[in-house]
Amino acid sequence: MTRNKRLKGKTVVITGASGGLGEQLAYQCAASGANLFLLARNVGKLDQMAEKIRGQHGVDCRYLQLDLSSHEDVPAVFQAIFEEVRHVDVLVNNAGYGIFSEAKDVTLPDVQGMFAVNVVGLIACTKEVIPSMKKRKLGHIINVSSQAGKLATPKSSVYSATKHAVLGYTNSLRMELADAGVFVTAVNPGPMATSFFDLADPSGNYVKNLGRHILSTEKVAEKVVAAMLTNSREINLPGWMNAGSILYALFPKLVERLGKKAFLKK
């Protein structure tokens, strides 16, 4: 497990912290000496995590319940955080979900739900930390997007659209905050071994087809934690998939034609 000495004594806020990548980020940030605020809907799991983190690493670890689809609750949650600590050093916008469905079959409630959490919820959290980070000229906003935000594939039209939106927002935000000394990083992982696919693909076919190519949350978390409080533009994993995304940006028609069979394996 990588240790990041820059995090010692810093305050890190993680959304979607109760499982998957968010959970691994919490453990690895704590191992680096960071104090934590964990945000998610499942307070039972957050309570278990906070107790374990405090016991193993001796850092301050607190949690608050937050459903990112309830945007009106976001300001109060961050107000509660700022009442406990003077500032947030790192915000990791990790919460998100997807549902794989052909465009003709996706329901409007699912469309609204994915955009509410993946995009609007992320923006709502970010807005809460920008003023203090700009004032201090210090901070790091890390937005977890996806390789799907660079290379769209069949059956993920809406999910991919949300991640394209996250990347657009992140790229604009990075330029806005560059002169303020605030770092902004996009994390673009390929498929990870998490409960994400329990909802996204209940059939299990996609994970089965991925086989050994699926990423571990531990490895992705190591890369993200190592980059915290550094001026890293993007973290792209795995390398071969990101190469495909770059190739797609250059030769979209060719990639769509040659990759059609593989893309349809969802």
Q: Which of 88-97, 198-207, 229-238 has the lowest mean pLDDT?
A: 198-207
250: confidence class by pLDDT, cuts 50, 70, 90: confident
For residue 205, pLDDT over 60 is answered with: no
**Chain centroid offset of residue 127 CA:** 16
| Ranges 30-44, 134-148, 154-168, 194-208: which has the least confidence | 194-208
Q: How confident is the model at residue 197 (pLDDT cuts 50, 70, 90)?
A: very low
* HSE (side-chain half, CA atoms, 13 Å) at 62: 11
The candidate with the shortest Cα–Cα distance to 143, out of 162, 23, 210, 211, is 162
Backbone angle region of 49, left / alpha / beta, with phi > 0 → left and psi within -120 to 50 → alpha: alpha
Confidence label for 200 from pLDDT (cuts 50, 70 and 90)? very low
Does residue 206 register a pLDDT over 80?
no
Q: Is the pLDDT of residue 264 over 80?
A: no
Asked if the model's pLDDT at residue 193 lies above 90, the reply is: no
Q: Could you report the per-residue pLDDT of 112-168, keeping only the tens digit for each?
A: 999 999 999 999 999 999 999 999 999 999 999 999 999 888 899 999 999 999 999
Active-site residues, by number, are 159
Q: Which CATH superfamily is domain 5-263 in?
A: NAD(P)-binding Rossmann-like Domain (3.40.50.720)
3-state per-residue secondary structure call for the chain: CCCCHHHCCCEEEEECCCCHHHHHHHHHHHHCCCEEEEEECCHHHHHHHHHHHHHHHCCCEEEEECCCCCHHHHHHHHHHHHHHCCCCCEEEECCCCCCCCCCCCCCHHHHHHHHHHHHHHHHHHHHHHHHHHHHHCCEEEEEECCHHHCCCCCCCHHHHHHHHHHHHHHHHHHHHHHHHCEEEEEEEECCECCCHHHHHCCCCHHHHHHHHHCECHHHHHHHHHHHCCCCCCEEEECHHHHHHHHHHHHCHHHHHHHCHHHHCCC
Average pLDDT (183-197) is 81
| Domain boundaries of the chain, sorted by first residue | 5-263
Of the pLDDT bands very low, low, confident and very high (cuts 50, 70, 90), residue 213 is low
Residue 107 has pLDDT above 50, yes or no: yes
Query: 193 vs 108, which has greater pLDDT?
Result: 108
